[in-house]
């Protein structure tokens, strides 16, 4: 059996050695296709929605949402029979690779699989996670402490004291050095699991990894937004539907401090307010590629990009219903001091009398939100 740069090359792997259906693109709400009628696919081979105007494009996205939320979506490309066959082949390939790696006495193939999982966790976290989309990242070299410049002296910033807690702190200097904490996960497999049912184990490892890394970061980020919003900007109460006037008010709350309103992270319950009528039609530009929708990017409204977590698996969703956050540019909202990017460490507990192998993955970082003026929230009552 030939090896590739990412190891364990067996069809259906790509020429670069990556799985044809990567873990991030397995058969769930993270990727796929659906058919809106028997004659026309929802999107073409290039991934563009089949729509002749903006109204039809919004309707396509609405149909897509309904299909995913109701479980009626057809995953992948091509007809259902081909999709099921491709998915089955990919599942069997990953299961065979896991069995081979698990029984490799050198441990090299398990290390390769750990590297592959972490690569995809990083990729999906950057693409779908709120944290990596709305905050800046400052890479800190080995042996240095991470310091972030504060624009306004004698102001209040919010820092993370751990991977799950934040607190506001008043600073009188130009720089803040946020405390360092770990984001980590144990991705462990027992011998009996591999022996009896190896199919699906890698997908489960990937889900567990996302829950412990991307979801942990996003929950912490929500705490940042909530803490920031109560310092300068007051939360906006929405009774009824979201309107262009309310949207403009949220934008102005950010722009009044000289910051551009960059991103809106909103619960999907607000989507129908935007897409369900004509009141927003002249302001809203929906996305045209289905993959962007699956990553939570719905379009832009008055120059503000809209993202949501509605297409994640339920256990990976973090936004409360009827919550909305208007944000400034990433570096004004928050800065991650990245001391160590997510890194896998191989685990083998059999020499300690436990029939377990797998990986421990770990990132080392700090987070500071230096500008309370950069966040304003809204809540539907």
Higher pLDDT among residues 190 and 149, named by residue: 190
Element (H, E) at 160: strand 155-160
pLDDT given at position 72: 58
- Which domain covers residue 258, as residue numbers? 133-181+217-336+365-380
Share of the chain above pLDDT 90, in %: 57
pLDDT given at position 52: 83
pLDDT given at position 77: 38
Q: Lowest mean pLDDT: which of 48-62, 157-171, 320-334? A: 48-62
Pairing of strands 236-238, 375-380: parallel
Q: How confident is the model at residue 313 (pLDDT cuts 50, 70, 90)?
A: confident
Q: How confident is the model at residue 32 (pLDDT cuts 50, 70, 90)?
A: very low
Share of the chain above pLDDT 70, in %: 83
The answer, yes or no, to whether residue 330 has pLDDT greater than 60, is yes
* CATH classification of the domain holding 254: 3.30.2320.10
* CA proximity to 68, closest of 41, 36, 28, 40: 28
d(CA 295, CA 301): 17
Helix, strand, or coil here: 126?
helix
Q: Over the stretch 223-265, which tens digit does the pLDDT of each residue have?
A: 999 999 888 888 999 999 999 999 999 999 999 989 999 999 9
**Does residue 36 belong to any structural domain of this protein?**
no
**Does residue 124 belong to any structural domain of this protein?**
no
User: What are the phi and psi torsion angles at 140 (to 5°)?
Assistant: -105, 120
Higher pLDDT among residues 312 and 72, named by residue: 312
The answer, yes or no, to whether residue 150 has pLDDT greater than 90, is no
Q: How far, in Å, are 207, 211, 340 from residue 315 at the CA level?
A: 9, 8, 26
pLDDT given at position 327: 97
Q: How confident is the model at residue 80 (pLDDT cuts 50, 70, 90)?
A: very low
**Does residue 189 belong to any structural domain of this protein?**
no
**Does residue 128 belong to any structural domain of this protein?**
no
pLDDT given at position 291: 84
**Does residue 127 belong to any structural domain of this protein?**
no
Structure token pair of residue 364: 């080392």
d(CA 139, CA 317): 27
Please give the average per-residue pLDDT across 175-181, as a whole number: 93
**What is the torsional sign of CA 21, 27, 31, 33?**
positive
pLDDT given at position 173: 82
Higher pLDDT among residues 66 and 302, named by residue: 302
Pairing of strands 148-149, 175-176: antiparallel
d(CA 357, CA 64): 40
Higher pLDDT among residues 212 and 9, named by residue: 212
Please give the average per-residue pLDDT across 213-217, as a whole number: 97
**Does residue 280 belong to any structural domain of this protein?**
yes
Please give the average per-residue pLDDT across 79-98, as a whole number: 72
d(CA 128, CA 327): 17
The answer, yes or no, to whether residue 94 has pLDDT greater than 70, is yes
**Does residue 268 belong to any structural domain of this protein?**
yes
Q: How far does the chain reach from its first CA to its final CA, in angstroms?
A: 60
Q: Lowest mean pLDDT: which of 90-99, 117-126, 332-341, 355-364? A: 90-99
d(CA 286, CA 292): 10
**Does residue 245 belong to any structural domain of this protein?**
yes
Q: How many domains does the chain have?
A: 1
Q: What's 30's DSSP letter? A: T
Please give the average per-residue pLDDT across 81-98, as a whole number: 75
pLDDT given at position 85: 64
Please give the average per-residue pLDDT across 6-21, as a whole number: 38
Q: Over the stretch 257-312, which tens digit does the pLDDT of each residue have?
A: 899 999 999 998 998 899 887 789 889 999 998 888 888 899 999 999 999 998 88
375 touches 325 (CB < 8 A): yes
2 by Cβ neighbours in 10 Å (0-12 / 13-18 / 19+) ranks as: exposed
Q: How confident is the model at residue 23 (pLDDT cuts 50, 70, 90)?
A: low
Q: What's 60's DSSP letter? A: H
């Amino acid at each position: 059996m030939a090896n590739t740069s990412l190891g364990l090359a067996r069809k259906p792997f790509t020429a670069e050695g990556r799985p044809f259906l990567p873990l991030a693109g397995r058969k769930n709400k993270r990727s796929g296709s659906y058919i809106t009628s028997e004659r026309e696919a929802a999107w073409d081979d290039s991934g563009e929605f089949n729509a002749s105007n903006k109204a039809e494009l919004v309707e396509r996205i609405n149909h897509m949402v309904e299909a995913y939320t109701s479980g009626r979506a057809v995953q992948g490309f091509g007809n259902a029979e081909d999709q099921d066959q491709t998915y089955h082949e990919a599942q069997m390939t990953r299961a065979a690779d896991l069995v081979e790696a698990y029984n490799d006495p050198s441990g090299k193939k398990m290390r390769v699989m750990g590297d592959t999982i972490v690569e995809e966790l990083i990729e999906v976290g950057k693409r779908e996670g709120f944290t990596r989309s709305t905050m800046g990242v400052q890479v800190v070299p080995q042996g240095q402490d991470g310091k972030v410049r504060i624009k306004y002296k004698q102001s209040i910033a919010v820092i993370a004291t751990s991977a799950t807690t934040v607190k506001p702190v008043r600073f009188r200097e130009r720089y803040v050095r946020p405390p360092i904490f770990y984001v980590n996960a144990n991705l462990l497999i027992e011998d009996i699991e591999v022996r009896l049912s190896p199919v699906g184990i890698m997908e489960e490892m990937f889900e567990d990894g996302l829950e412990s890394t991307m979801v942990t970061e996003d929950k912490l980020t929500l705490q940042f937004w909530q803490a920031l919003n109560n310092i300068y900007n007051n939360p906006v109460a929405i009774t009824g539907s979201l309107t262009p006037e309310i949207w403009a008010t949220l934008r102005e709350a950010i722009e009044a401090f000289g910051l551009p309103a960059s991103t809106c992270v909103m619960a999907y319950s607000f989507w129908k307010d935007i897409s369900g009528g004509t009141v927003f039609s002249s302001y809203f530009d929906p996305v045209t590629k289905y993959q962007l929708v699956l990553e939570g990017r719905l379009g832009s409204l008055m120059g503000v990009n809209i993202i949501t977590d509605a297409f994640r698996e339920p256990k990976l969703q973090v936004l409360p219903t009827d919550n909305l956050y208007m944000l400034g540019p990433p570096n004004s909202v928050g800065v991650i001091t990245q001391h160590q990017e997510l890194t896998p460490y191989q685990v083998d507990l059999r020499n300690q009398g436990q029939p377990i192998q797998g990986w421990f993955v770990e990132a080392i970082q700090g987070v500071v939100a230096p500008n309370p003026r950069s966040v304003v929230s809204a809540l539907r009552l």
